[in-house]
Amino acid sequence: MTSTFDTTLANLGIARSGSAATPTVSTAAASQTLGQADFLKLMTAQMQNQDPFNPVDNTQMVAQMAQFSSLSGITDMASTLKTIAAKLTGTSTTDAMSYVGKTVLTPGDTAFARTSGGIAGAVELGGDATNVTVTIQDANGQTLKTLNLGQQPQGTATFDWDGTTDSGDAAGAGPFKVVASATNGGTAVTSQALVWAPVTSISMPASGSPILNVAGLGAIDISAVRQIG
């Protein structure tokens, strides 16, 4: 029986030392880790080789196996949750391809006119504002139209320009430059112009999020999209 027990320990990389037959980890196997299956083998060998008139108390080993089982379950659960989280927060190639041909609302200052004329967009405000202004300029920086959005709360304020200049003339197809400004009682408020633009293609880098190629704005990260039209 002792021989069988020694063989089992040897297969696990554990050697006996001393007359007390206390199992110790050998130098060659010192870097190995005992898992749940190893403990099961040890317990089975122990039960097979114990003195029937003086059985060994297996309570401690069973308790350790229960801990290993719980740890294994938690590890598997954590791995599964990590996979789910990656899927929910990530964007697949198929998801990114669905953007092509659509218009997106994204930070930018260049926009082209709609088929019906004019442009729509928004202004992101970092705080409450008593006065928000959107200026539409031509390619040369000349002001075509000034839109007064008035008082706006922190968040996103939308605008829609019909395509006519301050003098009432048609502004054409663009491209137009959009400049946003905001104040609160004379103090400047952080503002960011958002414009609608069509997605012409996508790029999939080796790592990181997909890149959208947008008309008039160039390459933008997919995370910059605020809305899809």
Break the chain into its structural domains and give their ranges: 2-77, 95-228
> Residue type at 218?
G
Q: What are the residues whose beta carbons fall under 8 Å from the beta carbon of 224, sequence distance 6 or more?
A: 106, 107
Residue 97: what pLDDT? 75
14-17 and 211-214: which strand pairing? unpaired
CA 227 to chain centre: 18
Class of the CATH-defined domain 95-228: mainly beta
Average pLDDT for runs of 10 along the chain of length 229: 57 53 47 62 73 66 66 71 60 70 87 86 92 91 91 92 88 88 91 90 76 84 83
Rounded to whole angstroms, how far apart are CA atoms 50 and 171?
96
Global pTM value: 0.56
Tokens of 19: 């007359």
Residue 183: what pLDDT? 94
Rounded to whole angstroms, how far apart are CA atoms 169 and 163?
8
Residue 87: what pLDDT? 56
